[in-house]
Amino acid sequence: MPTDQLSRTFAALADPTRRAILARLSEGEATVGQLAEPFAMSFAAVSKHLRVLETAGLVSRGRDAQYRPARLDARPLAAASEWIGDYARFWAGSFDSLGSYLDKLQQHDTTTAKENDDA
């Protein structure tokens, strides 16, 4: 199992069921039973997914007698978003450079075509 926070976050997000659970929790806290409703899986399976999310720090669980609601804790997502943002800036810069290069090529082709037409 990954040991650093960013790796735990991405490992938890790698599973579509866990992403769906997080999406549901973004609407408010829920019990295991409520989280299990849209899935064809047992409460135990949903509980395992919740444990992975808890280990990653993405979910916290309360306790009120027998009621143990799960809550989204989005703080680890901020670090993941920042990490992804660094690469988004890289790609944006790369696409800007590519766009400039293509503009130069197009200008060159237009100039060459005009010179050929004038000849």
**pTM of the predicted model as reported, rounded to 2 decimal places:** 0.71
**CA torsion, points 89, 90, 95, 100, in degrees to nearest 10?**
100
> Mean pLDDT lowest for which of 26-40, 44-58, 77-91?
77-91
State yes or no: pLDDT of 1 exceeds 60.
no
**Please, which residues bridge with residue 67 across strands?**
64
pLDDT digits (tens, 9 = 90+) for 57-104: 999 998 766 778 999 999 999 999 988 888 877 777 677 777 778 888
What's the pLDDT score for residue 20? Answer: 96
5-73 carries CATH number 3.40.630.10: no
What's the pLDDT score for residue 103? Answer: 82
